[in-house]
A and B are shown apart, each in its own frame.
Chain A
């Protein structure tokens, strides 16, 4: 591919996000031998140290410093990228809440194709790209084909392109701040409100009984509570349970909730979306109980039971009690 590949770098507190190295790996899968250019926006000393850190993995780092860039506001960064990216560029983004905010509109403004939430690349023939992604909450995958000749904005699912070692690219940092000019936006960042702390810290628990949509109703929670009590475990949950206000947000496992690292994770009626699994670290022993044999959780669990949790779990609880 002739087009230059760029990677947008997220960073915080002077450190590049894990996705910075994943994007290097993704660029290599997209076009073996490619030398992607890192694009970093920010302000102050944190920006400087991130840029230096990135020179280990990227041969070239474009730095954009400005007061309005201290927090990444996608509405401002879209304007910036439109000014500085050459026509026909390919931009890799992490498929995070920032990537989702920036990518679709940027692709339209660049007149480039948008390829969201990519899990793998399946060949690039000239400008014709094939990519793999999922639909229907991970139940099926699909191949997409698109023409990147006018450029592409590609958001990459976290964890799908394992980061290599930072390497010794010995890259150089180019300060491109002078190219930014005026950056006006009709959306202003105000502040980040930290998530509330709950009564129980699920991030510190070794054994979690985690409840998903399959629990069906708030009335059914004693089924999970009783099992957790018998096991000496704590109850956590997936997103739909919090949306329904059945449990507090502080009990939610996932990218939009808590990142947990238990030894044993019992997933009851949880489909296993990538956002949920993204919150589960440390390679726990995963047991999945789900009535849908096609649920994606069975791809990642160690042990699976196809059953209605409302029927299966009470029997399991009784047996555990009896075994004590």
Chain B
């Protein structure tokens, strides 16, 4: 099984307080902690496990700049066989469809049986996998939390509402978006990163991909982000302040009043 996994370098929203730049055209990025998108990390782990079972290879691809190389290298340290960087100033400002178009070109430059994406990334749109599948005219399934390889097809589970699991059979080649919890991604240590530190990672631009750069990037984007904003706080929470002692005392009074202490 030849598997391509699409990954993205994102600010870690669990670790960061996201704040807006003056003018609100972007968030303040200078001090943010970046890492590989959490869903993508599960996708890479799943690809590695599939290849361990049935053979083949895993290629990790990202669209970005030189800084994105660190996430590709990290996923290679996990055990992905190959990395691929898609870098071109013409890609900047692409909307979801633009990103999918760039990835489509990369898929068609290789020979893949299966393409995995994370179910969603930092913008929460959950769109690139489905768009890529439609562009390739491959079948698609989202929110996948189980993959079993069968002959020319996969038996997959999708996580649906209530934590139930929808079982499907899907023909290869296909695109799947991976839900967190499908596996337990392996730990990557410094030693693992060092091992792949000098591995050459190929870089392709629009020309190498055979892409018309007029079809991607800011100018081609049909869905544009106008600004970021923080909605005016509603009533919001009553924030308890003071020493830990004082806060705990206030909280206990409130919990008692609301029936929270039995």
Residues of A in contact with B (beta carbons under 8 Å apart): 73-75, 96-98, 100-109, 113-117, 130, 133-137, 139-147, 185-195, 206-207, 213, 231-233, 239-240, 242-245, 249, 252, 255-259, 263-264, 266, 271, 285-288, 292-294, 297-307, 311-312, 315-316, 319-320, 323
B126–A243 touching, CB < 8 Å = no
Knowing A108-B134, A207-B259, A312-B244, the reply to whether A256 touches B159 (Cβ < 8 A) is yes
A294 to chain B, nearest CB (A): 4
Which listed residue, A133, A185, A243, A259, touches B181 by the CB 8 Å rule? A243
Q: For the complex, what is the distance from the CA of A220 to the CA of B19, rounded to whole Å?
A: 30
Which listed residue, B13, B100, B160, B226, touches A145 by the CB 8 Å rule? B226
Which listed residue, B119, B157, B237, touches A304 by the CB 8 Å rule? B237
What residues on B are CB-neighbors of A316 within 8 Å? 248, 251-252
B167–A195 touching, CB < 8 Å = no
Residues of B in contact with A (beta carbons under 8 Å apart): 11, 13-14, 16-20, 27, 96-97, 100, 119, 122-131, 133-135, 138-143, 155, 157-171, 174, 180-181, 184, 222-231, 233-234, 236-240, 244-245, 247-249, 251-252, 254-255, 258-262
Chain A to chain B contacts (Cβ below 8 Å), 20 pairs:
A75-B139, A97-B161, A101-B143, A102-B130, A107-B97, A113-B223, A114-B223, A117-B126, A136-B11, A143-B229, A185-B139, A186-B170, A187-B170, A193-B164, A194-B164, A239-B180, A285-B254, A285-B258, A285-B260, A304-B238
6 nearest CB pairs, A to B: A232-B262, A104-B130, A304-B237, A264-B260, A105-B134, A195-B163
What residues on A are CB-neighbors of B247 within 8 Å? 305, 307, 312
A294–B18 touching, CB < 8 Å = yes
What residues on B are CB-neighbors of A297 within 8 Å? 237
Knowing A263-B260, A287-B255, the reply to whether A140 touches B237 (Cβ < 8 A) is no
What residues on A are CB-neighbors of B239 within 8 Å? 298, 303-306
Q: For the complex, what is the distance from the CA of A320 to the CA of B250, rounded to whole Å?
A: 11
A207 to chain B, nearest CB (A): 5
B226–A144 touching, CB < 8 Å = yes
What residues on A are CB-neighbors of B184 within 8 Å? 244-245
B236–A298 touching, CB < 8 Å = yes
Q: For the complex, what is the distance from the CA of A105 to the CA of B129, rounded to whole Å?
A: 8
Question: Which of the listed residues B233, B234, B237, B249 has the most CB atoms from chain A within 10 Å of its own CB?
Answer: B237
What residues on B are CB-neighbors of A320 within 8 Å? 252, 255, 261
What residues on A are CB-neighbors of B155 within 8 Å? 190
A141 to chain B, nearest CB (A): 5
Question: Which of the listed residues A144, A186, A292 has the most CB atoms from chain B within 10 Å of its own CB?
Answer: A186
A271–B164 touching, CB < 8 Å = no
What residues on B are CB-neighbors of A106 within 8 Å? 134
Known: A108-B131, A257-B162. 5 other contacts (CB 8 A): A116-B124, A143-B229, A187-B139, A257-B163, A266-B260
B238–A97 touching, CB < 8 Å = no
Q: Which residue of B lies closest to A206 (CB)?
A: B259
A305 to chain B, nearest CB (A): 5
What residues on B are CB-neighbors of A107 within 8 Å? 97, 131
Which listed residue, A145, A271, A287, touches B254 by the CB 8 Å rule? A287
What residues on A are CB-neighbors of B168 within 8 Å? 73, 187-190
B131 to chain A, nearest CB (A): 5
A188 to chain B, nearest CB (A): 5
What residues on B are CB-neighbors of A190 within 8 Å? 155, 167-169
Q: For the complex, what is the distance from the CA of A294 to the CA of B11, rounded to whole Å?
A: 15
Which listed residue, B164, B248, B259, touches A192 by the CB 8 Å rule? B164
What residues on A are CB-neighbors of B174 within 8 Å? 186-187
Q: For the complex, what is the distance from the CA of A107 to the CA of B131, rounded to whole Å?
A: 8
Q: For the complex, what is the distance from the CA of A271 to the CA of B13, rounded to whole Å?
A: 9
B99 to chain A, nearest CB (A): 11
B255 to chain A, nearest CB (A): 7
Q: For the complex, what is the distance from the CA of A136 to the CA of B258, rounded to whole Å?
A: 32
Q: Which residue of B lies closest to A134 (CB)?
A: B124
Which listed residue, B18, B157, B252, touches A140 by the CB 8 Å rule? B18
B228–A140 touching, CB < 8 Å = yes
What residues on A are CB-neighbors of B254 within 8 Å? 285, 287, 303
B166–A104 touching, CB < 8 Å = no
A103–B127 touching, CB < 8 Å = yes
What residues on A are CB-neighbors of B161 within 8 Å? 96-97, 255-256
Q: For the complex, what is the distance from the CA of A323 to the CA of B126, rounded to whole Å?
A: 48
What residues on B are CB-neighbors of A194 within 8 Å? 164
B130–A103 touching, CB < 8 Å = yes
